[in-house]
A = this chain, B = another copy of it.
Amino acid sequence: MNDLHIEPLPNIDELDEKILKLITKNARIPFLEVARECGVSGAAIHQRVQRLLNLGVVSGSEFIVNPQKMGYFTCAYMGIHLEKAKFHKQVVAELTKIPEVVECHYVTGTYAIFIKVQTKTNKHLKKLIDEDLQEIEGIASTETFISLEMEFKRQVPIK
């Protein structure tokens, strides 16, 4: 995001929506199955998906890892206070280097930065806070909200 232009939204027709609904639930669904549902050829689906990728409407596909099965049992959100706003960029650069930080947002309000972390245990989280986060130059303080359970997670509504 190096410019402030507002680009017009891509035209998404009903066929695109139908395709999106299917492929956002299962990235490896056979395109022929999508094609049959939509009453067009498999190649048409392939072209549409390619177009949606080119437009940036979909940014790719992922297999979703279950953190718990990988031994990451603690999930937490953290609000970060900075000493000065100008530290923002370098703090984000440092946060990027910590693999347990899985999400990072520039926010307004009480905090300057908001992150999501996944650690193996609560002890691991404590270590991350004390040894990694508090050592980053520019971070004044942090506040932690431990997620005891993720109730649900989904994507933006498609019409």
Which A residues fall within an 8 A CB radius of B?
A: 1, 9-10, 12, 20, 23-28, 49, 55-67, 69-72, 75, 77, 79, 92, 95-96, 99-100, 102-111, 113-114, 118, 143-158
Whether A147 and B28, one on each chain, are in contact in the complex, defined by CB atoms closer than 8 angstroms, is no
**Bound: A114/B57 CA distance, A:** 27
Some 22 contacts from A to B, beta carbons below 8 A apart, are A9-B70, A9-B71, A24-B62, A24-B64, A25-B62, A58-B65, A59-B65, A60-B63, A61-B63, A65-B155, A65-B158, A77-B105, A100-B157, A102-B155, A104-B152, A105-B149, A105-B151, A108-B145, A108-B146, A109-B144, A109-B146, A110-B145
Query: Which B residues are CB-close (under 8 A) to A104?
Result: 150-153
Residue of A25, A49, A107, A158 with most partner-chain B CB within 10 A: A107
Residue of A12, A63, A70, A99 with most partner-chain B CB within 10 A: A63
**Bound: A136/B56 CA distance, A:** 35
Whether A70 and B12, one on each chain, are in contact in the complex, defined by CB atoms closer than 8 angstroms, is yes
Whether A156 and B26, one on each chain, are in contact in the complex, defined by CB atoms closer than 8 angstroms, is no
Q: Which 9 A-B pairs have the closest CB atoms?
A: A27-B27, A27-B61, A99-B157, A105-B147, A104-B151, A23-B63, A106-B149, A67-B156, A57-B69
